[in-house]
């Protein structure tokens, strides 16, 4: 009965949209101010949410009812629990699976005298209460209708606690925030070279040894000997979660309708396992081995025993088995791996990897679980039931979906939030190019152009926050928020309801509230934004003029050709990132050596070009720039010689190399020499005035 009333309300409602339209994040499917039933319309007016509400919950089991009651409290509402729907002053929550088709959807009907929440599932009711919480926080809860459901069933965040261990309390704080944004998957990267983080009783050295290292920072550890040490050794840095702690964490997340997906990396990214159990190394033994030996049966015994303990703690249907970035070289020379390949008829090491992934899949399937793997698990043939997590781009996810597998999208260009989110000079050292909030927000995991038989396999989206450079918890939160808010909205909201201009002020408010609550998100209201030079095209005398590259060996690197030989005079200045197809990257020994033809003898007062330096990926300033001019294209006069001493620094920098004066010339030769630091020179435009 109530559902029919609801349909009428939605169909007949003609009132204006509510102010609530731009309060709830992620943006809901439909918000309408006022309530109309059977032709009678109650106007949109503030609902008195400060009264003590009579809360009744129906259709939920006891555990869910307790969770929902906790969510009502967390929303800041006063209530007393009643058995029946009260006549006024009610907050009624009804779980009613037939109320709509969409999984985890809900409807909130706010009358002047009470509130009815109808939800498809307990999770849906929890999500409704998160919307309620945001209205209470905004002090703006109007009568009206909210109809809402998620676009994707998987809305995730990856937290990397291998590179730097973090406490259970820290994880719970992030879970709290995820839940408020209706996110529902926490992918825990529990294992990697830098440290194993889960107690495993059958292999105790994983935590008594592989969980500890010296020195503390990942960077020093990685560049040094990559040593693990025994727990309790002086200076040992690291940690691990006991099973008790993990059980508690899993329950805490489940109370907020978040499933924790544990990741146990194999066969790559397993240096720490091999440090603790070197007998699982391949028989040729270079210093650093990160890949488990697939030839040895003991590897399978160990991984199966580990997975037994993992599934005992984590009820998640999905277990992530890693599968990314295997070196595979040892397998080519290892007697055991070679024997395995002969016996199993595997034609290359990609198939050897797939052999292992398929065996692990079978093992988990037999125990009622499914695997997720990084997109490299496609390389030697995909395990029959695997879900692919697409990170190297979207191609892996799309290929998996085309083959009828499910995929979760986490392409690094949009979802790797270990990249800097503001002007790189203002941000701590990080990995990758400039990835501001608006770029994350622009990502669509399943655009309308995607074939429906592909898009129906795209199950969702995930933000990944790797922690190589992130030692402190406050730094971790700074990287995570607010970009994970954008990912929450990508995962939940319908595309037609998404608009960055409306999202940003909502995100600013959430960030301000988080700061008040003691979180340390990036303070969005102080965002500097993209490189100012890149925002408008630059007019100058050489714009559109022909550029000749003096020697092919001085030519650009293919992946950084930008706009080809138009780049340096196309009027487009680069952004903060060299991967924007505006910066041209030169890899050859000679550096940059080009001639601009001004087409006629011209009076010139300045010639300048910007370079960038980001030492991590090997991008350096030139050590010398020479500028020469000519009227005939044969006889050049040097007008500038600009030496530069390179300072190796963690922070990205930008610098102009130019000349000012007065000269008459038709041809300009601009030559930037590469230093002894091997790597790229990046230049975006040669500006002539």
Q: Which of 21, 64, 192, 477 is catalytic?
A: 192
Which one of Zn ion, ligand ACM, none interacts with residue 625, CB within 5 to 8 A by kind? Answer: none
- The separation between the first and the last C-alpha atoms of the chain, rounded to the nearest angstrom, is 75
CB of 324 to ligand ACM, least distance (A): 4
Using the rule CB under 6 A, is 611 a contact of ligand ACM?
A: no
DSSP-assigned letter for residue 44: P
Q: Which residue is nearest to ligand ACM (CB)?
A: 324
DSSP for 309-368?
Answer: HHHHH---SEEEEE------HHHHH-HHHHHHHHHHT--SHHHHHHHHHHHHHHHHHTTT
> What are residue 665's DSSP bridge partners?
602
The nearer residue to ligand ACM, 154 or 374, going by C-beta atoms, is 374
Determine phi and psi for 293, rounding to 5 degrees.
-80, 120
- 267 prior amide bond cis, ω within 30: yes
Count of residues of this chain found to bind ligand ACM when the rule CB under 6 A is applied: 4
- Report the partner that residue 23 touches, choosing among Zn ion, ligand ACM, none (CB closer than 5 to 8 A by kind): none
Site string for ligand ACM, 217-246 (x = CB under 6 A): ------------------------------
Q: Which is nearer to ligand ACM, 376 or 570 (CB)?
A: 376
Nearest approach in angstroms of CB 334 to Zn ion is 3
CB of 87 to ligand ACM, least distance (A): 55
Phi, psi angle pair for 284, to nearest 5°: -105, 140
Residue 391 binds ligand ACM (CB under 6 A): yes
- Partner that binds at residue 293, options Zn ion, ligand ACM, none, CB closer than 5 to 8 Å by kind: Zn ion
Report the residue number, 325 or 438, with the smaller CB distance to ligand ACM: 325
Q: Give, as one character, the DSSP assignment of residue 664.
A: E
Q: Which residues in the 94-153 window bind ligand ACM by CB under 6 A?
A: none
Report H helices in 204-328.
Answer: 205-208, 218-223, 243-254, 271-276, 297-313
Q: Beta partners for 658?
A: 608
Nearer to ligand ACM, 462 or 530 (CB): 462
Q: How far is the CB of 341 from ligand ACM (least distance, A)?
A: 25
Residue 148 CA to residue 425 CA, distance in Å, equals 41
* Contact partner at residue 195 from Zn ion, ligand ACM, none, CB < 5 to 8 Å by partner kind: none
Contacts of 387 (CB under 8 A, 6+ apart): 318, 370, 371, 372, 373, 400, 405, 406, 407, 408, 459
Min dist CB 331 to Zn ion, Å, is 6
Judged by CB, which is closer to ligand ACM: 69, or 325? 325
Say if residue 489 is exposed, middle or buried (CB neighbours under 10 Å; 0-12, 13-18, 19+). buried
Asked if residue 529 lies in contact with residue 426, where contact means CB atoms within 8 angstroms, the answer is no
CA Rg, the chain, in Å? 29
DSSP string, 18-31: PGGGGTSSSPPSEE
Does the active-site annotation cover 325?
yes
331 or 391: CB nearest ligand ACM: 391
Burial class (CB in 10 A: 0-12, 13-18, 19+), 569: buried
- Annotated active-site residue in 164, 228, 269, 457: 269
Three-class secondary structure assignment of 126-155:
HHHHHHHHHHHHHCCCECEEEEECCCCCEE
Provide the minimum distance between the beta carbon of 47 and ligand ACM in the complex, in angstroms, as a whole number.
Answer: 46
Query: Residue 318 or residue 667: which is nearer to ligand ACM going by CB?
Result: 318
From the list Zn ion, ligand ACM, none, pick the one residue 324 interacts with, judged by a Cβ distance below 5 to 8 Å according to partner type: ligand ACM
Residue 374 binds: one of ligand ACM, Zn ion, none (C-beta under 5 to 8 A by kind): ligand ACM
Query: Considering only residues 580-599, where is the footprint of ligand ACM by CB under 6 A?
Result: none
CA distances, 49 to each of 89, 127, 138, 323 (Å): 9, 18, 12, 50
How far is it, in rounded angstroms, from Cα 315 to Cα 107?
29
Q: What is the DSSP letter of 17?
A: P
The partner in contact with residue 295, picked from ligand ACM, Zn ion, none with C-beta cut-offs of 5 to 8 angstroms by kind, is Zn ion
CB of 337 to Zn ion, least distance (A): 3
- Rounded to an integer, what distance in angstroms lies between the CA atom of residue 583 and that of residue 562? 6
Residues that bind Zn ion (CB under 5 A): 282, 293, 295, 334, 336-337
Whichever of 468 and 593 has its CB closer to ligand ACM, that residue is 468
The residue from 309, 325, 438, 494 that is catalytic is 325
Judge whether 192 counts as a catalytic residue.
Answer: yes
Q: How far is the CB of 355 from ligand ACM (least distance, A)?
A: 21
Is residue 374 part of the contact set for ligand ACM (CB under 6 A)? yes
Partner whose footprint covers residue 334, from ligand ACM, Zn ion, none (CB < 5 to 8 Å by kind): Zn ion
391 binds, among ligand ACM, Zn ion, none (CB under 5 to 8 A by kind): ligand ACM
325 in contact with ligand ACM (CB under 6 A): yes
Q: How far is the CB of 268 from ligand ACM (least distance, A)?
A: 9
**Residue reference for tokens 């939940």:** 492
Q: How far is the CB of 254 from ligand ACM (least distance, A)?
A: 26
Which phi and psi (to 5°) does residue 79 adopt? Answer: -155, 160
325 binds, among ligand ACM, Zn ion, none (CB under 5 to 8 A by kind): ligand ACM
- Closer to ligand ACM by Cβ: residue 140 or 325: 325
CA dist 422 to 412, 463, 469, 576, Å? 17, 17, 16, 9
Nearest to 354 by CA among 380, 393, 316, 333: 380
Compare residues 209 and 374 and give the one whose CB is closer to ligand ACM: 374
Active site residues: 192, 269, 325
Binding-site ranges for ligand ACM (CB under 6 A): 324-325, 374, 391
């Amino acid at each position: 009965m109530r559902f029919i009333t609801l349909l009428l309300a939605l169909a007949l409602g003609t009132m204006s949209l509510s102010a609530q339209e731009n309060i709830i994040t992620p943006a809901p499917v439909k918000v309408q101010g006022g309530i109309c039933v059977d032709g009678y319309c109650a106007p949109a007016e503030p609902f008195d949410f400060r009264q003590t509400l009579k809360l009744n919950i129906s259709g939920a089991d006891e555990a869910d009812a307790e969770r929902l009651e906790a969510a009502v409290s967390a929303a800041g509402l006063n209530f007393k629990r009643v058995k029946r729907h009260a006549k006024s002053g009610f907050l009624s929550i009804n779980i009613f699976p037939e109320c709509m088709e969409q999984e985890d959807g809900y409807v909130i009907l706010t009358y002047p005298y009470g509130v009815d929440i109808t939800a498809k599932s307990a999770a849906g009711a929890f999500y409704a209460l998160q919307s309620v919480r945001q209205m209470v926080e905004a002090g703006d809860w109007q009568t009206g209708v909210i109809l809402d459901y998620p676009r994707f069933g998987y809305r995730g965040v990856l937290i990397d606690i291998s590179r730097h261990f973090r406490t259970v309390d820290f994880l719970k704080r992030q879970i709290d925030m995820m839940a408020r944004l209706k996110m529902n998957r926490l992918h825990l990267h529990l294992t990697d070279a830098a440290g194993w983080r889960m107690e495993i009783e059958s292999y105790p050295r994983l935590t008594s040894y592989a969980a500890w290292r010296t020195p503390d920072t990942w960077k020093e550890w990685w560049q040094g000997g990559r040593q693990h040490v025994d727990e309790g050794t002086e200076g040992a840095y690291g940690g691990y979660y006991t099973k008790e702690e993990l059980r508690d964490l899993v329950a805490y997340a489940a109370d907020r309708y978040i499933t924790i997906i544990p990741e146990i990396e194999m066969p790559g990214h397993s240096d720490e396992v091999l440090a603790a159990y070197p007998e699982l190394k391949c028989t040729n033994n270079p210093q650093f081995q990160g890949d488990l030996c697939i030839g040895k049966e003991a590897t399978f015994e160990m991984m199966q025993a580990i997975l037994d303990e993992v599934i005992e703690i984590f009820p998640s249907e999905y277990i992530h088995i890693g599968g990314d970035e295997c070196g595979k070289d040892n397998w080519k020379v290892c007697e055991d791996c070679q024997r395995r390949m002969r016996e199993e008829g595997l034609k290359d090491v990609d198939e050897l990897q797939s052999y292992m992934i398929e065996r692990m899949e079978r093992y988990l399937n037999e125990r009622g679980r499914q695997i997720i793997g990084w997109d490299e698990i496609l390389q030697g043939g995909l395990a029959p039931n695997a879900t692919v997590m697409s990170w190297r781009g979207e191609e892996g996810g799309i290929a998996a979906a085309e083959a009828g597998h499910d995929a979760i999208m986490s392409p690094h260009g949009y979802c790797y939030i270990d990249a800097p989110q503001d002007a790189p000079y203002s941000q701590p050292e990080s990995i990758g190019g400039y990835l501001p909030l608006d770029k994350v927000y622009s990502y669509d995991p399943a655009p309308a152009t995607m074939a429906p038989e592909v898009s129906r396999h795209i199950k969702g989206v995930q933000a990944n926050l790797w922690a190589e450079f992130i030692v402190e918890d406050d730094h971790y939160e700074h990287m995570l928020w607010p970009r994970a808010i954008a990912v929450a909205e990508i995962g939940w909201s319908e595309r037609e309801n998404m608009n960055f201009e409306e999202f940003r002020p909502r995100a600013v408010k959430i960030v301000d509230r988080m700061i008040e609550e003691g979180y340390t998100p990036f303070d969005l209201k102080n965002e500097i934004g993209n490189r100012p030079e890149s925002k408008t095209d630059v007019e100058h005398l050489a714009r559109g003029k022909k550029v000749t590259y003096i020697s092919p060996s001085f030519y650009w690197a293919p992946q950084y050709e930008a706009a080809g030989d138009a780049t340096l005079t196309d009027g487009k200045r680069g952004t903060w990132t060299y991967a924007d197809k505006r910066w041209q990257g030169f890899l050859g020994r000679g550096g940059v050596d080009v001639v601009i033809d001004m087409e006629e003898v011209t009076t010139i007062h300045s010639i300048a070009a910007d370079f960038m330096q980001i030492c991590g990926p090997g991008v350096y300033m030139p050590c010398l720039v020479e500028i020469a001019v000519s009227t005939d294209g044969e006889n050049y006069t040097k007008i500038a010689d600009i030496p530069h001493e390179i300072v190796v620094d963690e922070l990205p920098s930008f610098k102009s190399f130019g000349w000012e004066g007065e000269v008459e010339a038709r041809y300009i030769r601009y030559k930037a020499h590469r230093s002894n630091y091997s790597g790229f020179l990046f230049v975006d435009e040669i500006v002539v005035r």
